[in-house]
């Protein structure tokens, strides 16, 4: 019988060191890492090709053994596991140990001890079906469609490389025509398929699924390349939850699925590079356990949502529409503005308030920084009312001669609330001897990065969901290094907000120039001015036709 290990308590990510998230997972490397994590030995394994993971994974769950995808490290892994026999599914290289092969799907089900006929599943459901397998009621799953279903041994032998209709090894490519350049033919056809194997035994040694690992939760992104790894996890008795995109808090649905499955788990295992490093996954799990959810759903501010904001400060209407009415009516007005965009996007539309917390001043003031910092208690009623009504809040800083980080720290108490993010307005960032309205202010990347770091640490320390950081800009010189701002911290979603005003053509020119200056920035905001735009603000329809589509739309 195979020996299962629950692995270490805490959080691990398997395969992250082998893969680039943008390129997807390496099925062989991830299957190997999962087998190493869960099994200390296995006299029997399922050995498969990458294109036969569905059949192989389901057979492994039925047998209670790991499944390996044939690759350069297969032999070493078989040695580590002390494997004596491999159930081979698909075309693989000779593993150097006894092999057992099924002539067709019915025989594969019999070898695996399945309780019924093979079950055909569609391409969209395959990995989820493996995750849902019950080792106590073993089933063998086969692909549905033209390549699915049972096949006889003759058809399997004749199947071309890549055909998923076969449970047995596939034939090598046909030889090149007489007189052809063999090297050229080989290069054109790709790597030669392994020579077909023959069974060394008629039966597999006795196996049995291990007891459930109730305290271990495995997370999959749903990438089909993870099918074998998911099969190994289920064979070991671990629960598996599929989270598309690798983020437990990406949506209300993923958050709910994760929270339900994670209750009582002491070990969390992420499959693949999309789950990031163990510390990031551990933070996401801690936040999910708090039960908090952001406006618009989930624990992620961006991507996947569209924010529509009122800009200003609650103490006056002179700085924007946010302060033109009592705070209760401000909430209603924000919701009304957001409703204009709901028919125009498939994303959740989040009503938002961008509150100017520190106001640029013509006078130096008692602290000499040319910025009036509004007291936290003056802002709290509106911030708390926003939370009660599903409205996101961004605190805007106009720091004068003060550092952005120092001003942000004044509002830490509010920023520790899950629904509150931050905005930096470099127009009002002065040098030590400067005053407002003489020149447009600016900020260096180094200072913005310190804000990113401070926010990220605040989020981690207090188990908060991701926060948004808005960077206001209408001239390139305001943030000369905009494209170099640190966007690597998953705790902070950085967005550049284009504040161009005036004739519509001028606004588009500003938008295009800023985009060209920071082509690496993923998230962008657009401002509509009621008074300054000519002949008036863009309509919601026109705003959503701007390319790329803005993630954040504010009204001033």
pLDDT tens digit sequence for 277-290:
999 999 998 998 88
| pLDDT tens-digit readout, 337-384 | 999 999 999 999 999 999 999 999 888 889 888 999 999 999 999 999
DSSP state letter for 171: P
| pLDDT tens-digit readout, 221-239 | 999 999 999 999 999 999 9
| pLDDT tens-digit readout, 325-339 | 999 999 999 999 999
- The residues spanned by each domain of the chain are 3-290, 306-555
How far apart (Å, rounded) are the C-alpha atoms in residues 319 and 118? 68
DSSP state letter for 150: -
- Look at residue 261 in the predicted model and tell me its pLDDT: 85
Beta strands (DSSP E) in 144-285 are 213-220, 238-242, 267-271
With a cut of 60, say whether residue 517 has pLDDT above it. Answer: yes
How far apart (Å, rounded) are the C-alpha atoms in residues 393 and 109? 56
| pLDDT tens-digit readout, 235-257 | 999 999 999 888 888 888 888 88
How far apart (Å, rounded) are the C-alpha atoms in residues 414 and 373? 14
Q: Are 231 and 58 in contact (CB under 8 A)?
A: yes
- Look at residue 254 in the predicted model and tell me its pLDDT: 86
Q: What is the mean pLDDT of residues 476-496?
A: 97
Write the CB contacts of 511 (distance below 8 Å, at least 6 apart in sequence). 498, 500, 526, 546
Per the model's pLDDT, the better-predicted residue between 533 and 474 turns out to be 474
CATH of span 306-555: 3.20.20
Half-sphere exposure of 289 (CA within 13 A, CB side): 14
What does pLDDT average to over the chain? 89
Whether omega before 303 lies within 30 degrees of 0, making that bond cis, reads: yes
**Pairing state of beta strands 392-397 and 3-4?**
unpaired
How far apart (Å, rounded) are the C-alpha atoms in residues 517 and 424? 18
φ, ψ of residue 376 in degrees (nearest 5): -55, -40
Closest of 471, 504, 476 to residue 487, by C-alpha: 471
Q: Collapsing DSSP states into helix, strand and coil, what is residue 111? A: helix
Q: What is the mean pLDDT of residues 136-165?
A: 57
Q: Are 270 and 14 in contact (CB under 8 A)?
A: yes
- Look at residue 1 in the predicted model and tell me its pLDDT: 64
- Look at residue 20 in the predicted model and tell me its pLDDT: 59
With a cut of 90, say whether residue 259 has pLDDT above it. Answer: no
| pLDDT tens-digit readout, 72-92 | 999 999 999 999 999 999 999
CA diameter of the chain: 93
Query: Whole-prediction pTM value?
Result: 0.82
φ, ψ of residue 101 in degrees (nearest 5): -130, 145
Transcribe 13-80 into DSSP letters.
Answer: EESTTT--GGG---HHHHHHHHHHHHEEE-SEEEEE-GGGHHHHHHHHHHHT--EEE--TTHHHHHHH
């Amino acid at each position: 019988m195979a020996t299962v290990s629950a692995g270490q308590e805490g959080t691990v990510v398997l395969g992250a060191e082998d893969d680039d998230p943008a390129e997807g997972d390496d099925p062989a490397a991830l299957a190997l890492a999962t087998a190493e994590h869960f099994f200390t030995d296995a006299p029997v394994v399922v050995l498969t090709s990458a294109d036969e993971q569905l059949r192989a994974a389901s057979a492994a769950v039925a047998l209670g053994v790991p499944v390996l995808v044939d690759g350069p490290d297969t032999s070493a892994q078989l040695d580590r596991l002390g494997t004596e026999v491999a159930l081979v599914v698909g075309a693989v290289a000779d593993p150097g140990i006894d092999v057992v092969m099924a002539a067709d799907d019915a025989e594969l089900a019999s070898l695996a001890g399945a309780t019924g006929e093979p079950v055909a599943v569609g391409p969209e459901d395959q990995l989820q079906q493996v995750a849902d397998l019950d080792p106590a009621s073993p089933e063998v799953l086969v692909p549905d469609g033209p390549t699915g279903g049972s096949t006889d041994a003759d058809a399997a032998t004749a199947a071309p490389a890549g055909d998923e209709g076969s449970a047995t090894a596939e034939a090598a490519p046909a030889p090149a025509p007489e007189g052809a350049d063999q090297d050229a033919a080989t290069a054109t056809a790709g790597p030669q398929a392994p020579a077909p194997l023959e069974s060394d035994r008629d039966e597999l040694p006795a196996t049995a699924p291990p007891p459930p690992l109730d305290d271990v939760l495995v997370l999959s992104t749903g990438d089909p390349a993870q099918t074998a790894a998911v099969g190994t996890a289920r064979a070991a008795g671990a629960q598996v939850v599929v989270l598309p995109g690798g983020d437990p808090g990406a949506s209300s649905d993923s958050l709910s699925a994760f929270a339900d499955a994670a209750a009582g788990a002491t070990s969390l295992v992420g499959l693949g590079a999309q789950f990031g490093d163990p510390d990031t996954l551990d933070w996401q799990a801690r936040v999910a356990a708090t039960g908090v959810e952001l406006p618009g759903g989930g624990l992620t501010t961006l991507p996947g949502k569209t924010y529509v904001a009122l800009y200003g400060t609650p103490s006056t209407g002179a700085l924007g529409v946010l302060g033109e009415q009592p705070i209760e009516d401000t909430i209603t007005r924000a919701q009304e503005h957001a409703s204009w965009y709901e028919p125009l996007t498939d994303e959740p539309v989040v009503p938002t308030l961008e509150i100017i917390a520190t106001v640029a001043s013509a006078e130096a003031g008692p602290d000499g920084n040319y910025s009036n910092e509004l007291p936290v208690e003056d802002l709290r009623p509106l911030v708390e009312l926003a939370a009660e009504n599903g409205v996101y809040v961004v605190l805007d800083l106009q720091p004068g001669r003060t550092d952005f980080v120092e001003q942000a720290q004044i509002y830490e108490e509010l920023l520790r609330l899950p629904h509150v993010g931050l905005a930096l307005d470099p127009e009002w960032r002065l040098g030590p001897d400067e005053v407002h309205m003489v020149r447009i202010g600016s900020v260096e990347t180094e200072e913005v990065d310190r804000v990113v770091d401070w926010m990220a640490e605040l989020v981690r320390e207090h188990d908060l969901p991701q926060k948004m950081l808005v960077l206001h800009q209408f001239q390139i010189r305001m943030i000369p290094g905009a494209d170099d701002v640190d966007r690597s911290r998953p705790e902070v979603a950085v967005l550049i907000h284009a504040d161009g005003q005036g004739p519509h053509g001028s606004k588009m020119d500003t938008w295009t120039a800023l985009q060209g200056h920071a082509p690496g920035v993923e998230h962008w905001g657009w401002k509509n001015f009621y008074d300054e735009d000519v002949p008036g603000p863009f309509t919601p329809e026109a705003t959503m036709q701007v390319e790329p589509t803005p993630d954040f739309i504010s009204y001033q």
